[in-house]
Amino acid sequence: MHTTDISYEADGRTMIGHLAYEGSSVERRPAVLISHEGPGMSDHTRDVAARLAGLGYVAFALDYHGGGAFLPLEETMPRLGELIADPARTQALAQAGLDVLLAQPNVDAARVAAIGYCFGGVMSLELARTGADIKAVVGFHPGFTTPRPDASRNVTGSVLMCCGSEDPFATADQRVAFEVEMREAGVKDWRLEVYGGVKHSFTNPDADTVGMPGIGYDALADQRSWRSMLDLFDLAL
């Protein structure tokens, strides 16, 4: 497997993303853009990239904090607050990562998906809201920002959001608002999966070490959501 860190500029910062693929560096294949969890790039993010590469995808994990850093909690929340308040800025960060991915000679630009974890799920959907040619968008324990159906009318690909019923960052009211938004926007193919009794960050085996209420790993939800993503990829890519 070929893995490398790639430095690029976005948001006035030097970002360090992570690229992974197997096989030829020029034979075109489907690709996946990955947006990390709120705190930043981590072993979890790199593991996702490696798993996707092992399945034949070119995987690029973008960086939206700078320096490939993993931020402490006291820095994470203010940073995310800035991005939540400025969707255009979030979209630009996602587009910068997509540009890096599309620049790889082994990427088939007609078969690209965007997935994200935590705020990365928000970022992936924001990228789709720009009208970018993204065939599938998947959010794992994503947050849900204020609905913007006018922007979501630009979504052209399939949308899948995977949530835990006990996630304090994706409440029942927010999930309903997302459903209403998708219908109002006329998104052709969208799906929301809710896993009973499951908390935020359920895909990350290190989530239990955070020690915060409402955050925890769930192996079954992790497996189910991954399988749902792959099933969608089989159809969309």
pLDDT digits (tens, 9 = 90+) for 109-129: 999 999 999 999 999 999 999
In which band, very low, low, confident or very high, does the pLDDT at 73 lie, cut at 50, 70 and 90? confident
What span, in angstroms and rounded, lies between the C-alpha atoms of 236 and 228? 12
What is the pLDDT at residue 53?
98
What average pLDDT score do residues 100-109 get? 98
Q: Say whether pLDDT at 212 is over 90.
A: no
Of the pLDDT bands very low, low, confident and very high (cuts 50, 70, 90), residue 68 is very high
Q: Give buried/exposed letters for 196-225 (b at 16+ CB in 10 A, else e).
A: eebbbbbbbeebeebeeeebbbbeebbebb
Q: In the predicted model, what is the mean pLDDT of residues 59-81?
A: 94
Helix axis angle, 87-102 to 119-129, nearest 10°: 80
Contacts of 160 (CB under 8 A, 6+ apart): 136, 137, 138, 139, 190, 191, 192, 193, 228, 229, 232
Residue 42 banded pLDDT, cuts 50, 70, 90: very high
The two tokens of residue 106 are 């082994």
Does the structural domain 2-236 have CATH classification 3.40.50.620?
no
Residue 207, CA distances (Å) to 116, 181, 210 in order: 16, 30, 6
Percent of the chain whose predicted confidence (pLDDT) is above 70: 100
What is the pLDDT of the chain when averaged over all its residues? Answer: 97
CA gyration radius, the chain: 16
Q: What are the tens digits of pLDDT across the range 145-182?
A: 999 999 999 999 999 999 999 999 999 999 999 999 99
The pLDDT of residue 141: 98
Evaluate if residue 65 carries a pLDDT over 90: yes
Model confidence at 102, pLDDT cuts 50, 70, 90, reads very high
Mean local confidence (pLDDT), 198-202: 98
Question: What pLDDT score does 210 carry?
Answer: 83
3-class DSSP assignment, residue 149: helix
Across 165-187, b (16+ Cβ under 10 Å) vs e yields ebbebbeeebbeebeebbeebeb
Distance from C-alpha of 32 to C-alpha of 47, rounded to nearest angstrom: 13
Q: What are the strands, taking DSSP E only, across the chain? A: 2-10, 13-21, 29-35, 58-62, 107-117, 136-140, 158-164, 190-195
